Amino acid sequence: MNIIKRCNKAGPVLLASLFLLMACDFSNRESVLAYQKIAGPTMGTSYHITAEFPADLDSTALKAAIDQRLVDINQSMSTYIADSEISQFNHLAVQQAMSVSTDFVKVLLISKQIYQESDGAFNPTIGPLVDLWGFGPALSVENFQKKPAVEHIQAKLSQLDFTALILDVNKIRKLKPLSLDFSAVAKGYAVDEIADLLIRFNVLNYMVEIGGEVMTAGLSPRGVSWRIGIEQPSNVRGKTFKALQLNNAAVATSGDYRNYMEIDGKRYSHTIDPVTGYPVDHKLSSVTVIAKTVAVADAWATAIMVLGQDKGYQLAKSLNLAIYMIYRDGDDFAVKYTAAMQPYLAE
């Protein structure tokens, strides 16, 4: 009998599983600065902002601007919205061109950069395989009853070709049938955009988080670097595995321990390898990446999660990427990280 289990059902935008915990210690109240918080729903999860607001800042206007910016980004990149830009492109006929927004173009160019540098481990044309395995918006009972047939996987693999996508200024077209999935970069991009919005409102000390993706700037409420915790790979939320100390840095984590399905006792990760067409099957449980932008950190976290703890580590080392890996070692976890990550590790 099939035993099927699926955890962490995707929301409006399916993104890689990202689990970072804000680990600020407010036990000494006298040392805490006068910071404020803003939060709200977005992208099937929620956003949280902690920041030092200027005395003359209109917080109502700021929140309205944040919410509208997130709506615009979601309308551009969510495959769960039928008339979003990405959904329109995915239904576009071969060789037919459509105009796209600046947001769309920026994310496409970031995706192209990581696609090239990762030798295809990060591939935003992965959409057909994500749907086939039941982790996309095209859900059906069949997705959860058995794994896809080999011939179906091979058919979808033939549709993965990022080089068949042509961008001409703000017009995009495809040379063959393909569809895009920005789930492993869109949420990070949204964090970057909200951080830029805060700066335009003269907010200089802040932490922005959307579903685990984080951008920090300046100082925390304690007047020191922001302290962010990497979560223990587990179905039980809230246990910090390692703390990071950050300011003016972006961080993203991809993991295999929350969003997955089980069929006949075998666990299938939501992270699909665009080379094999199958969910990744290695010992790497999570990878945390620090970069200048959250979008880049987000995309690299997925790429390295695809490559695994050996190939991913070697590539990160060669590119001087700051990464922190947690991988399974028997019944326990082991870690390794690049030299570029060392300065961010809290004692």
Q: What percent of the chain has pLDDT over 70?
A: 82
Mean pLDDT of 15-29: 38
pLDDT band at 280 (very low <50, low <70, confident <90, very high): confident
Mean pLDDT of 209-213: 93
Is residue 26 scored above 70 in pLDDT? no
Q: How many CB atoms lie within 10 A of CB 48?
A: 15
pLDDT digits (tens, 9 = 90+) for 99-135: 999 999 999 999 999 999 999 999 999 988 888 887 7
In the chain, domain spans: 4-75+185-344, 79-174
Is residue 247 scored above 80 in pLDDT? yes
Write down the pLDDT at residue 231: 83
Topology (CATH) of 4-75+185-344: T-fold (3.10.520)
- CATH superfamily to which 79-174 belongs: ApbE-like superfamily (1.10.3980.10)
Write down the pLDDT at residue 131: 85
Q: What percent of the chain has pLDDT over 90?
A: 68
Mean pLDDT of 67-82: 96
Is residue 58 scored above 60 in pLDDT? yes
pLDDT band at 16 (very low <50, low <70, confident <90, very high): very low
pLDDT digits (tens, 9 = 90+) for 324-339: 999 988 888 899 999 9
Better-predicted residue by pLDDT, 164 or 16: 164
pTM of structure: 0.87
pLDDT band at 256 (very low <50, low <70, confident <90, very high): low
Better-predicted residue by pLDDT, 341 or 32: 341
Write down the pLDDT at residue 288: 96
pLDDT band at 196 (very low <50, low <70, confident <90, very high): very high
